[in-house]
Amino acid sequence: MNGYAIETSGLTKRYGNVEAVTDLTLAVKPQAITGFIGRNGAGKSTTIKMLLGMVRPSAGSGRVLGDNIDVASESVALRRKLAYVGEDKGLYAYLTVGAMIQFMRSFYGDWRPDVEQRLLRMYQLPLERKVKALSKGMRTKLALLLALSRRPELLILDEPTDGLDPVSIEELLQTLSGLGSEGTTIFFSSHQLADVERVADDILMIDRGRIVMDMSLDEMREKYRRITLGFDHQPQPDNFQMPGVERVRCSGRQITVMASSLADEVVARGRSLGAVSVDVAPVSLREVFLETVQGDSQSR
């Protein structure tokens, strides 16, 4: 496993003539929080289901916590070492909240009653109410309680904030940060990029079934810059097509460059071409995401 919590090589999933995931090769570090981001239909949920052994790959291989994802016996053993909260939440609608907790508690020797009680108070879950009568947000909270009350080596979350109110989202992010500091590996997909940016150590970005970014958040913050150059004449965008430049936009006498590296060289190029104003600013994960996936779409 080379020390990775999750590792795939050429992982591919086809549905008929459609490839949901294409030649996916990635490595997720242990004891880190990895944000898995992408548009709807990008392949996030399919990837997660393959990692869990819920969907068989069409090609390629993968290992999670050292277990092969396409070997049935290893896939079953794997599920005892990790906790998963999916989009469908995986709850039994006919059980009450209390019965659901009791049922799940009986399966795991790593169950933490103190965490269970703390989350019951925090989430204000009604023990006597049936799961089918819970709101979407309450079902999400129950699923999170069932996952977080254990002590899994790996926690996989697919859109964990779906249906949560702002207070509950804040509580969840604090919980994830705490688990990360305790050594639990966390792999989660989310459309809420501001939330990902707050807690993630590493970023994996997928678009149209392919990985388009794989780096630490610190590395992204260090490398990416938005450079705005003002001229007293009409500039030529082609002059800024150079290594490290991801996107060039021109508006009147102003050029805006998104650079993933070599920002100083972009500035030097601008000054040599007569720029009368230069502004260099860091960029958010949201900006990098939009530039990357929009650029990927335009290049196809």
pLDDT at 38 over 90: yes
Q: How confident is the model at residue 100 (pLDDT cuts 50, 70, 90)?
A: very high
Q: Which residue has the tokens 């050594």?
A: 183
Separation in Å, CA 103 to CA 81, 106, 143: 18, 6, 13
Nearest-angstrom CA–CA distance, 79 and 281: 44
Stretch among 85-94, 161-170, 247-256, 284-293 having the lowest mean pLDDT = 85-94
pLDDT at 2 over 80: no
Nearest-angstrom CA–CA distance, 96 and 88: 17
pLDDT attached to residue 1: 42
* Total H helices, total E strands in the chain: 10, 14
Write down the mean pLDDT value for the chain: 90
pLDDT at 76 over 80: no
pLDDT at 254 over 60: yes
pLDDT at 295 over 70: no
pLDDT attached to residue 6: 96
**Residue 74 — φ and ψ, nearest 5°?**
-75, -35
Question: Regarding predicted confidence, which is higher, 267 or 163?
Answer: 267
| N-to-C CA span, the chain | 34
The count of residues in the chain is: 300
Q: Which residue has the tokens 């936009």?
A: 249
Nearest-angstrom CA–CA distance, 180 and 29: 12
Assigned token pair, 237: 């965008």
Nearest-angstrom CA–CA distance, 220 and 297: 21
Mean pLDDT across the stretch 9-24? 93
pLDDT attached to residue 296: 53
Q: How confident is the model at residue 299 (pLDDT cuts 50, 70, 90)?
A: very low
Burial of 138 from C-beta contacts in 10 A (0-12 / 13-18 / 19+): buried
Half-sphere exposure of 233 (CA within 13 A, CB side): 6
pLDDT attached to residue 86: 85
Nearest-angstrom CA–CA distance, 109 and 52: 21
CA 181 to chain centre: 18
Q: How confident is the model at residue 137 (pLDDT cuts 50, 70, 90)?
A: confident
Per residue in 156-213, pLDDT (tens digit) is 999 888 888 898 888 888 888 888 778 889 999 998 899 999 999 999 999 988 999 9
pLDDT over 70 percentage in the chain: 97
Mean pLDDT across the stretch 92-104? 93
Strand order in the sheet with 6-15: 18-28, 6-15, 59-64, 67-68
Assigned token pair, 107: 């399966």
Contact partners, residue 270, CB within 8 Å, separation at least 6? 227, 229, 240, 255, 278
Mean pLDDT across the stretch 231-249? 93
Three-state SS for 237-266 is HHHHCCCCEEEEEEECCEEEEEECCCHHHH
Q: Indicate the residue type of 104.
A: M
pLDDT at 43 over 70: yes
- Here the contacts of 64-73 (C-beta below 8 Å, separation 24 or greater) are 64/5, 64/6, 64/7, 64/154, 65/1, 65/5, 65/6, 65/153, 65/154, 66/1
Mean pLDDT across the stretch 15-29? 92
